Every structure is written in structure tokens, then in C-alpha cells.
Chain A
């Protein structure tokens, strides 16, 4: 209980520092997530209908996923230096695999009879994508977004190591200064953000399942 009280009193004394770190963290995470999604979704659409490319994409994503976030950050340091940009690039790389894999699996799993009907009844490729493929793949695509969001928000805590800022700063500073309150506020906030993402995107996922008639 003592630690919690310390955290609260630190928060009361330094609301500006906390909000600044939170803002940075969200900016880092959302930018990284957005870039990751912007790359992974079109890529997924592109490869999903080509069996070999799809397999290759899933294998590559699996490889990327096994790399520890900290290792990616460290590897980017000599290439991109320190600060916001390399952090965002690293987070985009974290977001990419789950979004890509789920998009590919979701699109490939669409009922082949429904696809045959869509084409046979005279839908153009675009109409088929928008009216049949995406709605039916939506639950898996949203599950990919949820996983990516949670991983990015957690991963953004490491941005502090290459000067990217965010809530991770509170943790490292708290450790360096032996300031338990600061440390705790940073840690709890990161955990709460991850849980919030899980909950928010989970709701989206369930809504999409109802929308696609698979719930």
C-alpha cells in the first residue's frame, strides 16, 4: 500500500510530467500502429489471393515476430539514430506481422462458394472485395488489429532506450533516481493502456463479427 501511496503522491506533484509522457506514448503508439496497418493491410489484400505469396508473407511475418522489440530498437539505432522516428519505425515493425497474418488468413478463409457466387452474379473485383471478402474477413482482421495495438502500446515502453520518450521514461527515470512513485505510475499506466487497447479493439472485433454474420 505504501508504494501505491507514493505513486499517487508523485502523480499529484507532477501531473505535467505524467501527461507529457502519456501524450508522447500515445503519439508514438498510434503513429507506429497506423503506419504498420497502412503497410500490412494493403500488403495482405495484395498477397491473399496468391497462394505462394501468401505463404511467403506469413513466413516473413513469423520471422519478424520472433525478433525481440528491444533487439529491433537496438538494430535501428545505427541506421536511424535516436528519438521519435526510429521508435515509430520499430513500432510499425511490431504492428506489421499480426495485422498482415490475420488479414491474409481472414481473406483466404472466406467461403469459396460465396466468392464464386459474387463473381458469377456479376460483381467486379472491387465490389467483391468490399461487399463480400472484407466483411467476411473482418473478425479476423480486427483480431489482428487488437493484437497489434496491444503489442505496440507495450512495446512503446521500450522507446525510452533510444530516446523516443513516452511512459517508459518514467520507468527508467524512476529506476535511475530510485523514485518508486514515478516508476510505479509509469508501469501501471503502460499496463492500463495495454488493457484498454485489448478491451477497445476487442469490442470492435465482436461488433465486426456481428456485422459479418459470423457471431
Chain B
């Protein structure tokens, strides 16, 4: 669990605080995406959590412990950190990069070697092929995976990710997000993610915190955020198509199934409502068949896209 309480940061000489009175809790085993326009204080906030930036005021508790009282070096070794642009050590091979924190913690060789293999497999890289490559011999996506593996190496309960997928192309980014999402759920990590990408925030965050000029504007689950933006700023930041984005949060399995059969290729129940709508538009139909029988109708989608207050659709 990460608890930020009344956290603030004043840079000397700056007219306005970078972060002001930020209170935010990330419950155990969940992820929270910090998002906002550049300069909103999201990266500063993240860097205060592992004490790369010293807060001007407020408190930070990680797993119940006062992070500001802890020794910063010890604190950082207990927090997984995926930095912007990966930041692999160019002179160390993949295995040595991943072994960074275990080595600092003084693990023995056998334990480190076993752990390196395990986390490489976890992020989908074959240890036999990748362990002894240098970072410059990797593709952008492989580097990002190694960055995640390095952060997970010592199995920290808390993970900080700063624009973790910023350096790869959109297609690959989508796939990496998918995999990391699965991984984080499986490992039940408590995660704070900084991103400037709305799609990424609603995809990776169990909760999304929107910051503006160092202040928290709204903190809510993605479905709630997209349905009820707190103000014009949030609505504008989420985009005109926030109803469409919201459809991507639900699967066909969560929507009402109609009995009447519809012709055409059936969609899997695990497909998102966003994908289902795209199919309906592509096929020029008002309903699509679903694998296992029955169909999904266009008329049932508005409740998921933009529920009216009081008739809230079930959150994911």
C-alpha cells in the first residue's frame, strides 16, 4: 500500500508549487495511474515516493512504514523502479542488469542466477537467448521488457513506473501493456504508474488520478472517471470520445446477452464492447453474434458507454 498525505513540493525559485497538498492512497495489490498534462507534477510525485526528490511537506507511507524516515538507499532497494526510456546500464548484459538489486541486497550467486532466469521468463524473454546480450543488441520492446524484469528482480511489493512504454511504437505498446497488466495482476503488486497517455492510464490503472498544476483534480476508477468527469478540464483531458474509451473497459461477457440469433462470424465473450461496436459498424448491423450462442445488441451499449447517474453499470 502506498499512502501519500498532503504531499507537496516547492522548487526553490519556482513561482508555484510543483505538487500541492496531494493526498492519494494506492491500496495493496492495486495500480494507480497518475496522469495529467506535462508539468502537472506527476513525475515529481513519483520521484518523491522513492526519495529521488525530497518533499517540501506532507508524508509518504509505504506498506505502513514512514518512507521519509527510512534510509533512502534501503527504501529504494525495496521498490521496483521502471524508469522513463528504460535506463539500462549499457555496459552490463541483460542478466547483470536484472541482477542489480539482488546483488545490492547481497544474494548469493545461485539465487541470483535462478531469479534472473525466472523474471526473464516472466516478461516473455527466453533466458538462453537474452541473458548475455548487451542492451544495444536488443530491440526497443525487448529493452522495455528487461526494464520491467529488472524492477521485478528482488520481488518488491511496490512498483513505480515512469512512462514505462514511452519508447516503443503504438502496436508494441498495446501488447506490452496487455502483458504487464496480466503480470501485475498475477503478482498482486502495488503499482504507481506515471503516464501522459489516457488510454494507457485507463488500461493499466485500477484507479486513475488526474493532476493539474500539482493538484489532484479527480481520483476514480476508470469507468467512473469516464462516466463522470469532475469538471471541464478532466472531460477535455479524457477526450471527446470518452464514451468510446469506456466501452473498452467491459467485455461482451459483462453485457446483456440477447437470445435472438444473428448471422455472421461470432465474437468471443472476452472481446471488449469497444471491439464489438467496431464490428457492428464494420458489418453494418445493429447486433453481433457471440460465441456460445445469442447476440449482443447495439441498443444495450449506451448504458456502458455513458451511464446516466443512478443507473450505474457494473464497474469492472
Contacts and interface: CB of A to CB of B under 8 A. Distances in A.
Interface of A: 111, 113-114, 116-124, 127, 131-132, 135-136, 211-214
Nearest to A138: B91
Nearest to A209: B91
A121 B104 contact: yes
B81 A117 contact: yes
Interface of B: 50, 52, 73-78, 81, 83-92, 100-101, 104, 134-136, 150
B134 A113 contact: no
A117 B83 contact: yes
A122 B76 CA distance: 5
A213 B86 contact: no
13 contacts: A111-B87, A111-B90, A114-B88, A114-B90, A117-B89, A121-B77, A121-B100, A121-B101, A122-B77, A122-B78, A211-B91, A213-B91, A214-B91
A136 B91 contact: yes
A111 B136 CA distance: 13
Dominant secondary structure of chain A at its interface with chain B: helix
B306 to A, nearest CB: 40
A122 B73 contact: yes
B18 to A, nearest CB: 18
Contacts of B88: 114, 117
Contacts of A114: 87-90
Nearest to A111: B90
Contacts of B84: 113
A136 to B, nearest CB: 6
Nearest to A135: B91
Contacts of A127: 104
Contacts of B86: 113
Most chain B beta-carbon contacts within 10 A, residue among A118, A120, A136, A214: A120
A122 B136 contact: no
Q: List the 4 closest A-B pairs by CB distance, nearest first.
A: A113-B87, A122-B77, A122-B76, A213-B91
A116 B87 contact: yes
Nearest to B134: A213
A122 B104 contact: yes
Given A119-B52, A122-B77, A212 B85 contact: no
A213 B92 contact: yes
A120 B83 contact: yes
B54 to A, nearest CB: 13
A120 B81 CA distance: 7
A183 B112 CA distance: 63
A120 B90 contact: no
A142 B74 CA distance: 34
Contacts of B135: 213
Given A119-B76, A121-B100, A122-B73, 10 more contacts: A117-B81, A117-B88, A120-B50, A120-B76, A121-B76, A122-B101, A123-B100, A136-B91, A211-B91, A213-B90
A123 B91 contact: no
A135 B134 CA distance: 14
A124 to B, nearest CB: 5
A122 to B, nearest CB: 3
A130 B88 CA distance: 16
A114 B85 CA distance: 10
Contacts of A117: 81, 83, 87-89, 100
B132 to A, nearest CB: 12
